[in-house]
Structure 1
Amino acid sequence: MIDTEEFQAKVVRLQTALSDRMRLRGATLERQLRRAGRRLPRRQRRAGQIILGAQDWMAHPKLARVLDMSGVNNAFTDMHRYLDTLDPREARKTAVLRLLGGIVLNLMVLGGLIYALIRWQGAG
């Protein structure tokens, strides 16, 4: 059995890691995981669901005694292991580069269409 204060401390640490590493806002862990959505791999989404289920069970003293804490601890470990690999600065840089790449591609398509329109008008 785990102490509820220790469990809540782990939840708070996970919330801080989610807000720092993935820039997820939310008052509760459930809201943060919902906002993460598919940005989290399937294994981490399952780990998040295990943690949320354990959070519900920890609210009841009798249910907290029968909770499989090894599975919950593994879920916390999986989440932190994944979040430690993320680099927020690299994610921001990638987002900016993708945005700029999309703009450049759209400008190239527009330039090609304008060129085709000019050639068509000149030939007709």
Structure 2
Amino acid sequence: MTQDQLLTQTEEIRQLMREKHGLRGASLQRQLQRGGRLLPRAIRTEAWYLAQVSELAKNPKLLKMVDFDHANRAVALVRDHLESINPLDRLWGRVLGFLGTMALAVLAILALLILWRLTRG
């Protein structure tokens, strides 16, 4: 893996974060600050590693500090996770969660109304 390949793959990860989670940011690091909690811990750790490595890769002298084997594994892990996400399923989950909350609230209000009517005669 070279410097250009690493930066290209990091850019691909940034695009996947934008597509799958709707996270915008000038860098992968900024995207992770905004929405890193959306990723599982292991994936988030590897994504942070990629963000740090991509900053090191911009400087040719610091590029020598990069473990390219670890970077390759991190890219593969994060990419596989992000590609497995279906944004439509996430949307349906949110909608159904909201509707479930509303249904519970309506049932609670109805129960209180019935209880009030019974106690008032």
TM over 0.5: yes
Aligned residues: 121
| Counterpart residue type for residue 2 of structure 1 | T
State the AA in 1 paired with 2:106.
L
1:77 pairs with 2:76: yes
The answer for the alignment partner of 1:113 in structure 2 is 112
Pick which of 28-37 and 103-112 moved more.
28-37
Gaps of 5+ in 2: none
Letter in 1 for 2:40: P
TM-score by length of 1: 0.90
Contact 2:56 2:62 in 1 (8 A): yes
| Paired-residue identity, % | 26
TM-score, normalised to structure 2's length?
0.92
Correspondence for 2:94 = 95
Please tell me the root mean square deviation across aligned C-alpha atoms, in Å.
1.3
Distance change in 2, residues 1:66/1:28 (3 Å): closer
| Unaligned stretches of 5+ residues in structure 1 | none
SS of the equivalent of 2:66 reads coil
Q: Please say if 1:45 is aligned against 2:44.
A: yes
Does the CA-based 8 Å contact 2:29-2:52 persist in structure 1? no
Secondary structure of the 1:24 match is: coil
Structure 1 outlier segments of 4+, above 3 Å: none
